[in-house]
Structure 1
């Protein structure tokens, strides 16, 4: 469930939006500034202002022709209207195109930036563990970035367009207004530009009312975004855990959970709809009144013969355009409220990525390169501060095989993550060999989306290894039936059983041939025969590779040189040496005519037992 989101004032959203934009302008200055210049030019162009004046003049001339019943002049004005409309359409499409491309490219830059920031330095893992994390980063990247960028461009260019409208029509309205005579206490005062003053007062009153009525909308939009993301996450969890839910018959409970999640969406939506209805009372009549008000104010001059009907209509249009320009805030308040919510969620994700680095730097695990793996005085705990492992000491030499065992919850997997460099909560030193020569094998292998060949080659590109090598690795790991499907695209994490996935990880191991291998319960789903066949790889193709295994399954000790056990204590589990296993499975027992497809029935080791190294750390 999402945590309560800290709200940001409007100036904060503007500042953060400008910071995001400034990053794009710095990374791609030619594209960003070029598109911005084109969009601004098409918004504030002299042609746009000229078109506005031309339409204003057309309206005056057309209504004067109607007033004078001059059919020929009116028909001429219709032709002029068609020409003006065509030119206006071309300018509007050009402005829209520049705005679309500007928002599209800015969003692409922001999405790629956030995706990279989330994946670098294992931040995505630390954020999932709850340290400085945020809810639903997928929605923030996939949806909130779209509105935070495209809506920003639309709002900014819309504001510039309003400025252009005001600049175009304010002077005209001032000129057409004449001087209004106002008598106060027997003294007559001439007020120039009365129509312009009336438009400003009317727009200001509308903005004040909108702010008073709709000031809760930004908070509501943020709550709605968060509730929608939580509901979508609940739906995704059902899809990802469909089998488990079906087996335990948990559909009824899941339905109740989904109903609660959607109830929060409904609650936020009802609040939003209520606010929108309140604003609609104002919006429905706001511009309608703006179209009638100048007629009422200018009617006395028209009836007195001071102005013609064409001038009155031109003045009315100018009043409406000035009011619309000054009412940008009134018309866009709902969008502004929504925009603020999207910006806040994007900025929160960016800050969470930075906070994950801060969390990684605080605990004090020093990781440095070395010729072998060595843990010195390593203390590990949870993100909440609970101690797990105390003063761990391990040295893994080239070619050595070490097993770390212990009861469930003793900290074995946490030790595995610390060695991988993704667990920051602890103190001590870890010397690690060349990362490019290491491979980590968790209990459930990760199989990316794509072909089976891509899953086998991961994290390298599929074309790194040829089809023949990939097929040989599958056959070597007893997955020969999958060879014809190497180019097939599927959800392999669902198609294959966990045991097949674990053997696929060993086939991946054969392709990459690392010198250092770290396994965490990597054979937990294999039967004895398949487990022995996989460990036999270290006697043949992977001979000389160092191996650190973590597990508690009985019999694992026979595949290792020495065993260390995590013994629970009041201050955390300690690593202690365990006596060596009595016997090892023979490598030769698995080979039958060059195929690794069985285990010796006797299960003894009549050929050669691996030399055991000292059990001290």
Structure 2
């Protein structure tokens, strides 16, 4: 019991920590104003429900005595004072019009707050995910528990569900609390009393409602408590299956050339099998829960009548009171049973809160870790490595206390066996590698890094050439000139065509398209991580000659498995970075 209470309080604390930033942000007054309006409209709906129970009593009381005039007035007139009553009662038509207007605008404003809240959260989650390369540091973790699965789902779907369900459950809870306090005194007053074993119980229908709801809540929690971890797992497994489908979509050529359809089918089948098995577990548990909750709800429809009929047959109450008491009892019992009726939604909401809270904590930890690793000094005239140590996330050293100065103006080749840490050295120079120590003094001016497998943003071919700048920063002539210089003139007519260029172009074309960025950006330092590995030797030589000619003032540092003639050599192996004294002839 204590563990369940702790989990419940933890969930509330996590939910509040997710919600608080928005309601204290720069949009707080709009957010609070919308929230206050929604709460007010929902409370007005509760008030109208109270009025409707009294309208229902007066209506059936008039039917019981065949008072046709009062019945007609109660249906259509604006106000009427029913016989035997001292308070005016609005007509049903007017009540319905007011009720519809309030209900429609309560829902409309709820959606308005929902989209504003989601937009704010999405903006900040995306910003925190990308700032300080948290997305990159998270992906490097060797601890499976620290790896956040499917961040795309958490930002798109979980934020949507969190805002929608938080508002829905929150408004529902507030409405039920107000409903409880609005109807509890009414039920106590109209219930009368009953004598059991010589003890007179006043307002006994109220105590019946409390007992009935308490038993139902306890049983619901007992049956449904295992749904929370199952719901959490279902969200994760669904996202894993969807990611597997995305992988096939993004790598069709590699899969087709490898005849890998069978293996992909096995992978997707296994992932969906996990989805299915977990869903079956949810189904079995939900079936037990539904047996109880549906039965509980259906019995609640007739239960108050069974309890109150003896008083009616004893002629202690009339038909009006007989029709009113079950309605009021239902309102009180429904408010007390909110936990039962909302349990499935609470389960899904709790799982969503847990995923978002874990994601946020992972981003905070990743951003903190990003400030670790080698220190970056103030830019200088040369690239200086001072006592530099680089390690993998598991602690294995790739570079051990290396010191080196690389002046500008040279063409430098970095060689070494695969896995020796050449690419990691580039990552450290770029300032994105968070594991290691020592200091790196970057060179002044602009630096550009091109990996072996280029990345192309969504959009036009021109945008891929300008990336990471916007395509408006370069002219069409600049883009076409870069394409022509690298043997990609056949793509000129597609300059403004939007496409998935990582799939539509060959590996060699992709690498040359990425190198076109260097020609239009003219960086002071260009770092190439096997950026021509997909080209044949003759074409690679032409591309290198083009870079040398078109970028005469750019210092080019290239990773290669082969020695570069006429270039200064650096060799990395077994944690040692060994420079050659002079360029290789």
- Given the two structures, how large is their TM-score scaled by the length of structure 2? 0.92
The answer on 1:180 being equivalent to 2:194 is yes
Q: Deviations over 1:325-371 (max 9, x none)?
A: 11110100111111111111111111111221333345x41112221
The answer on 1:557 being equivalent to 2:565 is yes
Q: Deviations over 1:152-189 (max 9, x none)?
A: 111001001101211221121111012323334xxxx3
Assess, with a 3 A threshold, how the Cα gap between structure 1 residues 567 and 206 changes in structure 2: closer, same or farther.
Answer: closer
Structure 2 distance, partners of 1:361, 1:217, is 39
Contact kept in structure 2, 1:136 and 1:230, CA below 8 Å: yes
Q: Deviations over 1:299-324 (max 9, x none)?
A: 22222222111011111100001111
Name the structure 2 match of 1:501. Answer: 510
Q: Which moved more, 1:390-399 or 1:339-348?
A: 390-399
Contact kept in structure 2, 1:159 and 1:328, CA below 8 Å: yes
1:131-170 to structure 2, matched below 5 A, reads 131=142, 132-170=146-184
Question: How much does 1:578 deviate?
Answer: 6.4
Name the structure 1 match of 2:521. Answer: 512
Structure 2 distance, partners of 1:323, 1:330, is 11
Question: How much does 1:374 deviate?
Answer: 0.9
Assess, with a 3 A threshold, how the Cα gap between structure 1 residues 282 and 255 changes in structure 2: closer, same or farther.
Answer: same
The answer on 1:533 being equivalent to 2:545 is no
The answer on 1:402 being equivalent to 2:390 is no
1:380 to 379, 385, 390: 390
The answer on 1:574 being equivalent to 2:567 is no
Q: Secondary structure at the match of 1:518?
A: strand
Contact kept in structure 1, 2:519 and 2:547, CA below 8 Å: no
The answer on 1:328 being equivalent to 2:338 is yes
2:73 to 67, 72, 76: 76
Question: How much does 1:544 deviate?
Answer: 1.5
Name the structure 1 match of 2:101. Answer: 90
Name the structure 1 match of 2:87. Answer: none
Question: How much does 1:381 deviate?
Answer: 1.8
Structure 2 distance, partners of 1:167, 1:9, is 28
1:126 to 96, 112, 137: 137
Assess, with a 3 A threshold, how the Cα gap between structure 1 residues 578 and 228 changes in structure 2: closer, same or farther.
Answer: farther
Contact kept in structure 2, 1:218 and 1:341, CA below 8 Å: yes
Contact kept in structure 2, 1:524 and 1:553, CA below 8 Å: no
Question: How much does 1:404 deviate?
Answer: 1.0
Question: How much does 1:84 deviate?
Answer: 1.5
Q: Which moved more, 1:329-338 or 1:61-70?
A: 61-70
Q: Deviations over 1:430-468 (max 9, x none)?
A: 11134x611111112211110011111111111111112
Contact kept in structure 2, 1:361 and 1:424, CA below 8 Å: yes
2:283 to 258, 261, 273: 273
The answer on 1:58 being equivalent to 2:61 is no
Structure 2 distance, partners of 1:551, 1:8, is 56
Question: How much does 1:239 deviate?
Answer: 2.0
RMSD in angstroms over aligned alpha carbons?
1.9
Structure 2 distance, partners of 1:265, 1:112, is 30
Name the structure 2 match of 1:14. Answer: 12
Structure 2 distance, partners of 1:115, 1:575, is 41
Question: How much does 1:541 deviate?
Answer: 3.3
Structure 2 distance, partners of 1:528, 1:354, is 46
The answer on 1:215 being equivalent to 2:213 is no
Q: Secondary structure at the match of 2:377?
A: strand
Q: Secondary structure at the match of 2:452?
A: coil
Contact kept in structure 1, 2:526 and 2:556, CA below 8 Å: yes
Structure 1 distance, partners of 2:550, 2:258, is 42
- Given the two structures, how large is their TM-score scaled by the length of structure 1? 0.87
Q: Secondary structure at the match of 2:550?
A: coil
Structure 2 distance, partners of 1:294, 1:496, is 72
Q: Secondary structure at the match of 1:305?
A: coil
Question: How much does 1:133 deviate?
Answer: 2.4
Name the structure 1 match of 2:85. Answer: none
Contact kept in structure 1, 2:195 and 2:201, CA below 8 Å: yes
Q: Secondary structure at the match of 1:9?
A: helix
**Unpaired segments of 5 or more residues in structure 1?**
1-6, 583-617
Question: How much does 1:8 deviate?
Answer: 8.5
Contact kept in structure 2, 1:42 and 1:95, CA below 8 Å: yes
Q: How many residues align structurally?
A: 562
Q: Secondary structure at the match of 2:533?
A: coil
Q: Which moved more, 1:66-75 or 1:460-469?
A: 66-75
Structure 1 distance, partners of 2:248, 2:11, is 35
Structure 2 distance, partners of 1:226, 1:399, is 51
Name the structure 2 match of 1:40. Answer: 39
Q: Secondary structure at the match of 2:98?
A: helix
Question: How much does 1:419 deviate?
Answer: 0.9
Q: Secondary structure at the match of 1:389?
A: strand
Assess, with a 3 A threshold, how the Cα gap between structure 1 residues 49 and 383 changes in structure 2: closer, same or farther.
Answer: closer
Structure 2 distance, partners of 1:267, 1:578, is 63
Question: How much does 1:533 deviate?
Answer: 3.1
Name the structure 1 match of 2:86. Answer: none
1:491 to 500, 516, 522: 500
Contact kept in structure 1, 2:411 and 2:556, CA below 8 Å: yes
Structure 2 distance, partners of 1:573, 1:495, is 40
1:454-473 to structure 2, matched below 5 A, reads 454-473=463-482
Structure 1 distance, partners of 2:536, 2:441, is 34
Contact kept in structure 1, 2:59 and 2:74, CA below 8 Å: yes
Structure 1 distance, partners of 2:9, 2:349, is 13
Question: How much does 1:88 deviate?
Answer: 1.0
